[in-house]
Amino acid sequence: MPNVQVHSLFTDFDINLFKGGKHYRLYEKLGSHLVEVDGVAGTYFAVWAPSAKSVAVVGNFNSWKVEEHQLNVRWDASGIWEGFIPNIGKGEIYKYKIQSNNNDIWTEKADPFARYCEHPPNTASIIWTAEHDWKDDAWMGYRKDKNGLDKPYSVYEVHLGSWKKNAENKFLTYKEFAIDLVNYVKEMGYTHVEFMPVMEYPYDPSWGYQLIGYFAPTSRFGSPEEFKFLVDAFHQNDIGVILDWVPSHFPEDAHGLGFFDGSNLYEHPDRRKGYHTDWKSLIFNYGRNEVRAFLISNAIFWLDQFHVDGLRVDAVASMLYLDYSREDGEWEPNMYGNNENLEAMSFIRELNQAVYSSFDGVQTIAEESTAFTGVSKPVEDSGLGFGMKWMMGWMHDTLQFFQKEPVYRKHHLNDLTFSMTYAFTEHFMLPFSHDEVVYGKKSLVYRMPGDEWQRFANLRLLYGYMFTHPGTKLMFMGGEFGQTAEWNFEQSLDWHLLQYDGHKGIQDFVKDLNHLYKSAPALYEKQFSPEGFQWIDYSDHENSVLTYIRKGHDAENDLIIVCNFTPVPRENYRIGNPKKGKLTEVLNSDDAKYGGGGNVNSVVKSSAKSSHGYKKSIEITVPPLGIVILK
């Protein structure tokens, strides 16, 4: 009996879909699969390597000898090599040894479809099945409602390697996160958690954004089934899970996708389209059908096999533009003479159509930093089809404003008001992400001006403004308690800071903001519609005060928001009252329980005096560097 038996999981229909780039569940066919053939247990292997002269499976089971287990090439010009190896099973490590048609080129590669990988720096793939008895039926049943665009969407962004370490300063495990992290996110009131890439990656300083094992949760924190356990735990606590996903580039590591079979298989062969100089990484060939199928299958895989609720797609701008971070002469225009990457745009549209047609209640979110139009519009309306887009312009303008000394802010209030001129052109998510607290930018609290009290007051005001501005929310871990140091991926967050009142006050304020966001329909029902926002006054530059209304479907739920961007309290500050009835203060960032000065409004004085175009008005105290929310 041969060492490798002829066997296939592919039908002719599968092959036709694969060649056409329309096979969106390739993980069911390619890779390693535990099967039984003629009553004998073993593993079926299948790998795409069209430029190969020979492909062998090597591992400890054959002493890494290339001649022992040679796969068979299919006869249909698909470029797929496959075969069944009896008597090897779960837990065996392996790689593919590939001889190119150019006899001088040999590559030894990890399996692109491996479900589990060795712990870096080891690089082999592992034969694996990830059995898990899901207990999230309730969540999956009502996810479509919980995860909708007219629902509260407050995301806690987490880097698992540095959120918290154990007593020995080592990583927590997926099972430990299922207790500590799940309980924390629930207590803080976030609706979703977002993980920076958990797909296997070789290099810790990449933070996970240089992927090798696209179908394997990183072994740093445990096994694939333990990662399923973590997702399940979040769902059982009514918290959605979003994964960072990186279809924009991949590293050149020898065991990875680059030059896979001795040819430019996954990467574009033209370095002007196939290489990122910024990240020293390779760019997928979005025009190649089989590569598109690989990437879309990968997106579907996480939503299907791991019950993930959304994908935040990294570096979309780098995919959309041929001249992204390139000088003249380093890129070539498209067929229309402009700088748009038509193949990447086509791929993105196909990706979003495949995702939304396959799953109810999921979202794709674009990290897209340019003014490209229609990112979150449906494909049928000539958009890219994402559910949401990061509002990078708002983030930059807002942080730039808050870094200014308050005495100068009256000259720059338009940095804040400008966002409302385009806030409803996309479904925007407001991000304060990991990128804003690294590389010398300082932590958010240390970007605030003034003494320590003013820094914390500014940060509370910043978060209050964020949560009352239209759009969904994202906050990077540590920001919720005013982490003072820049984020360091090698060490835990500074949880000891919570012994100090200022940091505990920030944490309590963020917790209350989350709970207000979830309980106040005015903040989410129309968060992507101009009907959900109305200015009362954006012209009080001298006092640096903004006043606006957030609206939901029922006018009874309307909220009035007043922001004071100076350290001078505004007493008896008059605001036009658009409706009859008593107003109540529902949140005040200067409350003493948050570390503020206690300038709260126990009584809101109503008056028949007209103001701001309304017949009636109210008078309140607007605290220094504070936000007041009235209902």
Joined together, the tokens standing for residue 420 give 């409302």
Joined together, the tokens standing for residue 135 give 């207990």
Q: Is the peptide bond before 121 cis (omega within 30 degrees of 0)?
A: yes
The reply to whether 157 belongs to the active site is no
The reply to whether 367 belongs to the active site is yes
Distance CA 507, CA 501 (A): 10
567: Cβ contacts below 8 Å, ≥ 6 apart: 406, 450, 454, 457, 624, 625
Other Cβ atoms less than 10 A from the Cβ of 131: the count is: 8
126 close to 116: Cβ distance less than 8 angstroms: yes
Could you give the residue ranges of the DSSP H alpha helices within 29-158?
137-146
Distance CA 617, CA 614 (A): 7
108 close to 96: Cβ distance less than 8 angstroms: yes
The 8-class DSSP code of residue 487 comes to: P
C-alpha distances in angstroms, 475 versus 80, 419, 431, 466?
A: 44, 19, 6, 10
Q: Write down the catalytic residue from 194, 309, 314, 415.
A: 314
Distance CA 54, CA 324 (A): 38
Joined together, the tokens standing for residue 93 give 């490590």
DSSP string spanning 508-563?
HHHHHHHHHHHH-GGGTTTTTSGGGEEEEEEEETTTTEEEEEE--SSGGG-EEEEE
Q: Write down the catalytic residue from 14, 157, 290, 367.
A: 367
154 close to 191: Cβ distance less than 8 angstroms: yes
Distance CA 89, CA 32 (A): 10
Q: Which residues are catalytic?
A: 314, 367
